[in-house]
Structure 1
């Protein structure tokens, strides 16, 4: 199968390696230097047109909904062959997803939304959770490909349902992360041993993916980016956009969104999500 891959950020650059072992993979990235490490296993292109024009499948792993729409409409749609399957693995707005699905259908293409969860470790080790929306017959054809990148590949329903599932996932990510940060901040202020507290959290009812994977990094003050604040904020804004469309009140996510915006404004959007701890430190000096 000939596959075009667009977007080689922290996640995409790791995910694409798994499929390159089994397929003819062509890659494009706006910052050309990010393609260089892949030139031994993929065909590197300097423009999207040449990358996608003969592809059976185009996979997009891009930064924002606006970028996804622009790249698809301006750079992919005019150049792919009839019957090409477009897989958007970015986190995107569900309502934009259904719009792009319709545009793809009108052009005799297929659109599948397949956002992921599991962080850099999941991307590196092919253990991502992949949430899929789209036509079930098309998704069935794609399962062997998607299973090269994820250990939990789930069909969630028609177009947009993969993205809706990702919204629900990110609500839980946000609240679990904030809960971890608050519990560790409390432990610090009452002079508890952070490692002991984290061990007990992870052995009891308070355990979560955040406490297991990010808890040790927090204790060690390791703020190297895994999932950066800019992308986290994008996801939270997608959640709030969909919630507002439905007059759905999500007070915890709304507050966390405000906290992330504050840290980005004061520091750097490329920091790890664990940098959200600075919000607590600024408001709870010790």
Structure 2
């Protein structure tokens, strides 16, 4: 049986790639974007199996209206791929108030509004799968991405909580945590802080050098099969890392964190007081 999938941020990158893969295998896709003309080629090819819809996830009322449209059009929503978001590059000190608010508005609040809009549909169905695109930077950090890191740490806590609140209703949640991939996330889709403080130049230089190795960046096409498998799995994981950089980095970091926890075990327990 084909699935009904709602994908936000489907104009390019992972969103468009996965939308086409789902359509190609016969699923029906509601694809949202700020600019729906970017989805015309998929509409031309897949006809009524795709419903392109204009959506700015920062607009909460629009999110609810669009979600209602999707349910009326297809009759249900089996899977949400909550994908809309962008990267903000620059040190924390250099980030303006507006840039910080914009980053959280889209990456965190935008994802929250979409989840809140879809949950009533899935509760009524007593089924559904919320797939949230996070990042391995929701589990660790890189310099020059402080607000982006923070937005993904926040979304990790939100989606994990939704999973614990809705499991008894047949609703599943998964956080997808990619490392860097060769999409335009770090290019045209990214925002840069405007002012640069010279004291941070060594950090900038080291960051730039780390990105020069082509092996750092995963191939977007390689994610298609894992994501389709995730959607089809009856017992999906709470978290799915995508990419070898993410796997090795998080494996190393969590091993160190567990070691630190054990090393300070007695102090932690004594702090309870009884």
Instruction: State TM-score, norm by structure 1.
Output: 0.43
- Larger relative contact order (CA 8 Å, sep ≥ 6): 2
Instruction: State TM-score, norm by structure 2.
Output: 0.45
